[in-house]
Amino acid sequence: MLIEKVIDFYIEVGKKHPGNPFRLSNSGRCVRALAYQRFPSTFKSEPMPARVLMILEEGKRVDKWLKEEFRKHCAQSWGSEEKEFYIEVDGIKIFGHADGVPTLERYGRTVAELKSMSNYGFRNALQGKVDYAYRCQLNSYVVGGGLNNALWVCYRKETSHLLELFCSKQIEKVETRILTPSGGWLNILRKLPSKTTNGRGPKSHIRLTQDSTNK
């Protein structure tokens, strides 16, 4: 009927080599897997499943849509889409592209990444928990750009809830902003415990803003 042709297309796409593994977006991936990917003629990889590729395609479309909305409604702060950053390792520049670098009113220039998430991933993000690979990716952009601030914009695919998770070296509290069923805003503000790393000062903290009901 219809879907077979779509699936067949993505099966063929999945057979292609994924390309250069040395990208900042791969910062949190398994080092051994990246090394295997670097030598495809020696280490044959399994094709990428069609379903996984379709999930990635959905994420690209959400990414494109959110950027369009930010351009329309946040023109004064949103900008620098697909901004290129790099980190130099042993004389080799490793490049990456952030979704955007908005200028936030309270915090200035901030690296932003847009992520579409399942219910599970979104609930974790609501608690300030973000996948290790995502954290490494965004951190590499922050380091490559010489910036202090980072922002995840999370989109819950099942319900279209949106959530912002802001990280900065200068944040000392966690703030959660929730839209209640009655339509009002509930603000929860709590001080973070003091944290140190080998006596070298506080770690980065997280500020969380949720523009959705917590369901």
Q: Is the confidence at residue 190, as pLDDT, over 90?
A: no
Of 121-130, 136-145, 178-187, 195-204, minimum mean pLDDT range: 195-204
Top mean pLDDT of 33-47, 61-75, 160-174 is at: 61-75
Q: Is the confidence at residue 205, as pLDDT, over 60?
A: no
Residue percentage of the chain with pLDDT more than 70 = 78
Mean pLDDT of 129-157: 88
Strands 162-168 and 149-156: antiparallel
The owner of tokens 């922050």 is 142
Mean pLDDT of 38-59: 88
Q: Give the pLDDT confidence score for residue 215 in this predicted structure.
A: 44
Q: Give the pLDDT confidence score for residue 197 in this predicted structure.
A: 41
pTM over 0.85: no
For 165, the 3-state DSSP assignment is strand
Chain mean pLDDT for the chain? 79
Give the whole-angstrom CA distance, residue 86 versus residue 96: 6
Q: Give the pLDDT confidence score for residue 164 in this predicted structure.
A: 86
Q: Give the pLDDT confidence score for residue 78 in this predicted structure.
A: 95
At 1, is the pLDDT very low, low, confident or very high (cuts 50, 70, 90)? confident
Q: Determine how many CB atoms are found less than 10 A away from the CB of residue 36.
A: 15
Q: Give the pLDDT confidence score for residue 170 in this predicted structure.
A: 57
Instruction: Give CA angle at 71 (68, 76), nearest 5°.
Output: 165
Task: Name the region of 183 (left: φ>0; alpha: ψ -120 to 50; beta: rest).
Answer: left
What is the domain partition of the chain in residue ranges? Answer: 65-211
The residue ranking higher by pLDDT, 143 or 1, is: 143
Strands 173-179 and 185-191: antiparallel
Quick one: tokens of 12? 């063929």
Strands 205-211 and 108-117: unpaired
Q: Is the confidence at residue 66, as pLDDT, over 80?
A: yes
Q: Give the pLDDT confidence score for residue 59 in this predicted structure.
A: 93
Mean pLDDT of 158-186: 62
Q: Give the pLDDT confidence score for residue 206 in this predicted structure.
A: 38
